[in-house]
Structure 1
Amino acid sequence: MADGRSPQGISGENLLYLTDEQLRQGIEAMFFAYRGFTADPDRILADHCYGRAHHRAIHFINRAPGTTVNNLLRILGVTKQSLNRVLRTLVEDGLVESRIGAQDKRERHLYLTEAGAALESQLSDAQRARMRTAYREAGPEAVAGFRKVLEAMMDADMRRAYKRLKEQAG
């Protein structure tokens, strides 16, 4: 179609107007997909007595080595107390290194250690495998549409943070 929508898979539904039931089905699909997306990492994390907060911290430290604690707080949207608890564990367990800022001694810059990078790789490998399979089954148009939907669901601040992260990653 000229507007980028594919006639296949629309099944006569007007995608600009969805019923409450169709929206509810989408919400439920997100819940179940999230369970699947987190299941493999959760098993790996349980072996280390970690939770999803540890996973998110490790993920974003890996994506932006040298990120500050304050930046990580903004990305994760958690309290300072909560993040400090997670970071303390990761530092004590030798997965994250915290370095004092060169310009501002009050800043702490975060880096994964070799062990932290190995755990991050194990976690992301599991999620990439699941995403790769789903993307392959859905096809390129669905993948592009899925990304658009996810970005549209982000509030403006999160969308900016997401775009900054994508730019930093190159």
Structure 2
Amino acid sequence: MAQGMSDNLLFLTDEQLRRAIEAMFFAYRGFTADPDRILSEMDYGRAHHRAIHFIHRSPGTTVNNLLAILGVTKQSLNRVLRTLVEDGLVQSRVGTRDRRERHLYLTDAGEALERKLSDAQRTRMRAAFREAGPAAVTGFREVLEHMMDPELRRYFTAVKEGER
């Protein structure tokens, strides 16, 4: 990108920012549409999806860690986890060092659901990234990371570094 063009991006108008915000709203709607359809067949919602995603990314994560990542109330997360455990998708194990801790793991059925949900999202993202090109992909990731609160960026970095 030419220097003059990149300088212009530092001084976006309110209208340009509004359009970017709207683009995020519509993109998020598309990004969640496929998993929402899958989850609705099971009477699950996005909270279930987020829990499944982060348990998959960090097997053995604690309930407290998941609370911090998701930013939900303990009551709300407990409702979600109770359903996932009862339905055989998540296993909760008592901690070996601290018996008050509960460590969370996906069962084989949970792994299968996670794969189905993430396959749908990866397909959509792969197509969008392919269409936009490598420079746009890098810029998109950078913008997203800079929008994160510092504490959440640390969680993101920790999960990203632990990629499998």
TM-score by length of 2: 0.96
Instruction: Tell me which residue corresponds to 1:159.
Output: 153
Q: Higher helix fraction: Structure 1 or Structure 2?
A: 2
Runs of 4 or more consecutive aligned structure 1 residues displaced over 3 Å after TM superposition: none
What is the CA distance between 1:112 and its match in structure 2?
0.2
- Sequence identity percentage: 74
Instruction: Tell me which residue corresponds to 2:42.
Output: 48
Counterparts of 2:71 and 2:9, CA distance in 1: 32
Tell me which amino acid in the other structure corresponds to 2:59: P
Instruction: Tell me which residue corresponds to 2:67.
Output: 73
What root-mean-square deviation, in Å, do the aligned CA atoms of Structure 1 and Structure 2 show?
1.1
Tell me which amino acid in the other structure corresponds to 1:153: M
TM-score by length of 1: 0.93
Structure 2: runs of 5 or more not aligned: none
| Aligned residue pair count | 162
Contact 1:64 1:169 in 2 (8 A): no
Counterparts of 1:93 and 1:19, CA distance in 2: 49
Superposed CA deviations along residues 78-111 of structure 1, whole A, max 9, x for unmatched, are: 0000000000000000000000001000000000
The alignment status of 1:130 with 2:120, answered yes or no, reads no
Structure 1: runs of 5 or more not aligned: 1-5
Counterparts of 1:98 and 1:154, CA distance in 2: 29
- Secondary structure, aligned partner of 2:100: coil
Tell me which amino acid in the other structure corresponds to 2:109: A
The alignment status of 1:28 with 2:6, answered yes or no, reads no
Counterparts of 1:59 and 1:105, CA distance in 2: 25
Superposed CA deviations along residues 49-72 of structure 1, whole A, max 9, x for unmatched, are: 000000000000000000000000
